[in-house]
């Protein structure tokens, strides 16, 4: 069987260019198609066939391969030594012989079978080629064209293949029109029996990072490093950035002059608000920045639970929590901590309660002390009783001493009173004696 060399080479090149597959895959598909056509018209599945295809001229030859045996059991795959030596002398048992069975032409049914085999093999080669190409492009940004929408599912056209944007991977309230160009993030590539399946997303946080690489040269060349991204698709996104060059402001580089750079990213994600935060090693600084624009009064860390209690003023609580809790949720994702927002008034109330409890405890202790002083124990009462007895004895003794001293004093007074009377009597007696003598 021969094929026009010029037409054959042109057909192979055309298929390879259209499908972007290796030419070797096409040649293998043609060889398999010739085997299928031969079996359809002249042979069966048990035959071991080999097809030789001249890639330059397009000429083909079909060879039937048989094993030489002493006793033939399978006529389709085996041949006796005698029959083999008639074809080629010097062959021994166990060797293989190739018999040329190339037909002059194939029938219509065989040609249809060959065509189906070629199409099938080329499709398989194309699937493998697509998988090989896109599996190496995971975690990349792809340009896609909206082909059509079916309900909430959006079918996209990519280079050489298609993908489906599922509802969970679509930005809320974003509308897609046929022919619209969008950028999608390639999350994963899987090879299935139906071909390569590409999982694309518009809500993945890495989409923002790839858009930043596209719009911001400092991020693309690595001068500005993106530390963390937390995203509520279509509503708000928080990005923590740092700079390896002290002369480069990471926030300013990302925002751009008059906010042009960050605005381009915002427009691409349907007006999503993007907060750019400068990285800091200090926990308190990062906590304040991530919860911005709310102002923090106080916070308490629980390292074992990876949880932090943040106290803010009543008028700042709504800002700290955000709409539907998005601000505190995104801040928690950035920090890697669970954040509880509490009122500062609650903290002050707790402090007052603790102070009152402490004061009550102290007053209670004082009352107990006073009661203890007022109500002495039995031993104390015994001691007090003995003291009272001693004091009573002392007082009685002192009274006796006082009475004795009073009596002594009275006697001394009497003596003093009696002494001048005696002296007077003696004087009178002396005068009377003097008078008698005269």
pLDDT digit string, tens, across residues 65-114: 888 888 888 777 888 888 888 888 877 888 888 888 887 777 777 777 77
User: At CA 66, angle to CA 63 and CA 69, rounded to 5?
Assistant: 160
Q: How many CB atoms lie within 10 A of CB 139?
A: 12
Burial class, 34, CB count within 10 angstroms (exposed 0-12 / middle 13-18 / buried 19+): buried
> Kindly report the CA angle at 150 between 136 and 166, in degrees rounded to 5?
40
For residue 214, what are the contacts with CB-CB under 8 A and spacing of at least 6? 141, 220
Q: Where in the chain is the domain with CATH 3.30.1480.10?
A: 5-128
Pairing of strands 338-343, 307-312: parallel
Alpha-helical runs (H) found in 95-193: 108-135
CB within 8 Å of 160: residues ≥ 6 apart: 20, 130, 133
Least confident of 85-89, 138-142, 325-329: 85-89
Q: What is the mean pLDDT of residues 263-289?
A: 93
Residue 362 CA neighbour count, 13 Å, CB half: 6
Dist. CA 46–CA 75, nearest whole Å: 10
pLDDT of residue 379 exceeding 50, the answer is no
Backbone angles phi, psi at 351, to 5 degrees: -65, -45
Omega of the bond leading into 59 within 30 degrees of 0 (cis): no
CATH number for 5-128: choose from 2.120.10.30, 3.40.50.740, 3.40.50.720, 3.30.1480.10.
3.30.1480.10
Q: Give residue 416's pLDDT.
A: 46
Q: How high is the pLDDT of residue 226?
A: 95
How far is Cα 49 from Cα 34, in angstroms, rounded to an integer? 10
pLDDT band at 117 (very low <50, low <70, confident <90, very high): confident
Indicate the pTM of the whole model. Answer: 0.65
pLDDT of 415: 45
48 φ, ψ (degrees, to nearest 5): -100, 105
How far apart CA 74 and CA 46 sit, in angstroms, is 9
Give the single-character DSSP code of 100.
E
- Asked whether the beta carbons of 218 and 224 are under 8 A apart, the reply is yes
CA dist list (Å): 334 to 176, 238, 284, 303: 31, 8, 13, 16
300, pLDDT greater than 80: yes
Which residues does residue 50 pair with via DSSP β-bridges, in sequence order? 63
What CATH number should be reported for the domain whose range is 282-377?
3.30.300.20
pLDDT number for residue 1: 43
As a CATH number, domain 224-279 is 3.30.300.20
Give the pairing type, strands 236-243 and 273-278: parallel
Distances (CA, A) of 170 to 13, 174, 203, 330, 355: 40, 7, 6, 19, 54
C-beta of residue 270 within 8 angstroms of C-beta of residue 173: yes
Element (H, E) at 182: strand 181-192
Distance CA 270, CA 258 (A): 20
Confidence of residue 230 (pLDDT cuts 50, 70, 90): very high
Instruction: List all residues 6 or more positions away from 233 whose beta carbon is below 8 Å from its beta carbon.
Output: 171, 172, 202, 203, 269, 272
Sign of the dihedral defined by the CA atoms of residues 207, 211, 216, 221, in that order = positive
For residue 115, what pLDDT is reported? Answer: 78
Task: Using the predicted structure, report yes or no on whether residue 341 has a pLDDT greater than 70.
Answer: yes
| CATH 3.30.300.20 segments of the chain | 224-279, 282-377
In the predicted model, what is the mean pLDDT of the chain? 80
Whether 335 and 287 have beta carbons less than 8 Å apart is answered as: yes
> What is the DSSP secondary structure assignment for residue 171, as one 8-state letter?
P
The burial class, CB within 10 Å (0-12 / 13-18 / 19+), for 55 is middle
Phi, then psi, of 58 in degrees rounded to 5? 85, 5
Q: Which residues of the chain are in CATH 2.40.50.140 domains?
A: 139-201
Region 353-369: what's the mean pLDDT? 57
How open is the CA angle 262-223-244, to the nearest 5 degrees? 120
Backbone angles phi, psi at 300, to 5 degrees: -130, 125
Crossing angle of helices 23-41/108-135, nearest 10°?
150
Evaluate the omega torsion of the peptide bond into residue 333 and state whether it is cis, within 30 degrees of 0.
Answer: no
* Residue 27: half-sphere exposure toward Cβ, Cα within 13 Å: 14
CATH label, 139-201, candidates 3.60.21.10, 3.50.50.60, 2.40.50.140, 3.20.20.70: 2.40.50.140
pLDDT, average across residues 285-290: 93
């Amino acid at each position: 069987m021969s094929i026009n060399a010029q037409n054959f080479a042109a057909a192979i090149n055309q298929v390879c260019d259209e499908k972007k597959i290796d030419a070797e895959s096409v040649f293998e598909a043609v060889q398999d198609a010739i085997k299928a056509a031969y079996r359809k018209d002249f042979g069966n599945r048990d035959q071991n066939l080999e097809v030789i295809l001249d890639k330059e001229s397009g000429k083909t030859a079909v060879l039937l391969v048989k094993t030489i045996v002493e006793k033939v059991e399978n006529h389709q795959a085996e041949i006796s030594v005698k029959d083999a030596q008639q074809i080629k002398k010097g062959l021994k048992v166990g060797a293989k012989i190739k018999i040329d069975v190339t037909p002059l032409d194939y029938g219509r049914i065989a040609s249809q079978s060959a065509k189906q085999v070629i199409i099938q093999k080329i499709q398989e080669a194309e699937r493998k080629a697509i998988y090989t190409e896109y599996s190496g492009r995971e975690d990349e940004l792809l340009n896609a064209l909206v082909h059509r929408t079916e309900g909430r599912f959006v079918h996209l056209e990519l280079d050489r293949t298609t993908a489906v944007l599922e509802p969970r991977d679509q930005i809320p309230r974003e509308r897609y029109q046929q022919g619209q160009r969008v950028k999608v993030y390639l999350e994963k590539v899987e090879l299935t029996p139906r071909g390569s399946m590409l999982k694309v997303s518009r809500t993945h946080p890495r989409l923002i990072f790839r858009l930043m690489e596209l719009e911001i040269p400092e991020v693309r060349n690595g001068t500005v490093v993106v530390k963390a991204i937390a995203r509520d698709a279509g509503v708000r996104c928080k990005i923590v950035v740092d700079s390896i060059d002290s002369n480069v402001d990471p926030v300013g580089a990302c925002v751009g002059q008059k906010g042009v750079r960050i605005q381009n990213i915002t427009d691409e994600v349907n007006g999503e608000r993007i907060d750019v935060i400068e990285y800091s090693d200090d926990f308190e600084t990062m906590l304040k920045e991530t919860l911005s624009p709310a102002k923090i009064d106080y916070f308490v860390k629980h390292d074992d639970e990876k949880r932090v209690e943040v106290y803010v003023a009543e008028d700042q609580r709504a800002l700290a929590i955000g709409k539907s809790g998005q601000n505190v949720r995104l801040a928690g994702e950035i920090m890697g901590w669970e954040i509880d927002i509490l009122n500062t008034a609650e903290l002050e109330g707790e402090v007052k309660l603790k102070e009152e409890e402490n004061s009550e405890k102290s007053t209670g202790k004082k009352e107990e002390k006073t009661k203890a002083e007022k109500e002495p124990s039995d031993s104390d009462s015994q001691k007090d009783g003995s003291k009272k007895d001693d004091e009573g004895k002392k007082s009685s003794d002192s009274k006796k001493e006082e009475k004795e001293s009073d009596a002594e004093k009275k006697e001394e007074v009497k003596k003093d009173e009696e002494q001048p009377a005696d002296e007077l009597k003696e004087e009178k007696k002396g005068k009377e004696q003097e008078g008698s003598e005269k």
